[in-house]
Structure 1
Amino acid sequence: MPTALAPQTLKKEERICSKKLIETLFDSNERRSLAAFPLRAVWLLQKQKEGKKTPFAPVEILISVSKRRLRHAVDRNRTKRQVREAYRKHKHILWKCVPEGHKAVLGFLWLDGRLHDSCEVENRVVNLLRRISEKL
């Protein structure tokens, strides 16, 4: 049940493109982490910069599937597509919990060496989003 706040699309503004932001996410002492096998979510709550003219989303995401875990690019791409679709469908869970003037930076990391069904991946993403929204 999507809300007007969270459209059911995944736009460029909702993806982490900045190497600096990625480094901040993984090197910061304020980052938090949760696991729901086969996924791990790493997130950080940041204050939104004043005077930024470009539109921003309350949550920016990153999806990482290691070549060490899944050797074939086809498998890595499928897994990223599954996680992206599950997040797109259920992002409203997290969007409504982000405080005004802040943004959440969220990274999904794949932990398993095998593929999973889309419904199982979706259940894990929803589980992580609910647990993160409780902690925000």
Structure 2
Amino acid sequence: MKKFELGKRHKLCGAVAVDRLFTAGDSRSALCYPIKGVWREAARRADGDASCKFVITVPKKRLRHAVDRVAARRRIREAYRLIHGRVEEACSAENGGVADLDIAFVYVANRVLPSASIHAAMERLLGKIHDAGKSTDK
């Protein structure tokens, strides 16, 4: 049975890595309302590390109440947890993936949306990331 877990090894940690994701010129982005994705290819990591690391941001400017920000963050994390296996499969060296990915998910809606719409947006966004990776490999 496939494990749908997200551990520490899947999380993008460190100010340098996050800054590089948002300030480097080689980052790409896509919007699938209510989630904006920003990603960049990173150098291959050690064998025990995940091939795709992520960070979630929910701006206080969009959702003023902490309860709403936490709810949105949980829904994004759950949607990613259910789908991330496909992205990691595509990135893996065995399948011809060229590099690991650092991904930031930014919540752009002004209210907390239902889990179903966030899940659908996450599927579309990860599909765009996967397609963008294919187009650069050619």
| TM, length-normalised to structure 2 | 0.88
Count of matched residue pairs = 129
> Unaligned regions of 5+ residues in structure 1, if any?
none
- Residue 5 of structure 2 aligns to a residue whose secondary structure is coil
More displaced 10-residue stretch of structure 1: 23-32 or 100-109: 100-109
Report the secondary structure of 1:96's partner residue: helix
1:90 paired residue number = 83
Deviation at 1:115, TM superposition (A): 1.1
Indicate which of 55, 76, 96 corresponds to 1:62: 55
* Map 1:24-39 → 2, pairs under 5 A: 24-39=20-35
Q: Which runs of 5+ in 2 are unaligned?
A: 134-138
**Where has structure 1 moved over 6 Å in runs of 4 or more?**
none
As a proportion of its length, which structure holds more helix?
2
Give identity over the alignment, percent: 26
1:71 maps onto 2:64 in alignment: yes
**Preserved CA contact (<8 Å) 1:15 1:61:** yes
**RMSD, aligned CA:** 1.6
Task: Tell me, in whole angstroms, the C-alpha distance in 2 between the residues paired with 1:71 and 1:61.
Answer: 23
Which of residues 91, 102, 120 is equivalent to 1:105? 102
Q: How far, CA to CA, are the matches of 1:10 and 1:41 in structure 2?
A: 18
Q: Which amino acid aligns with 1:38?
A: P
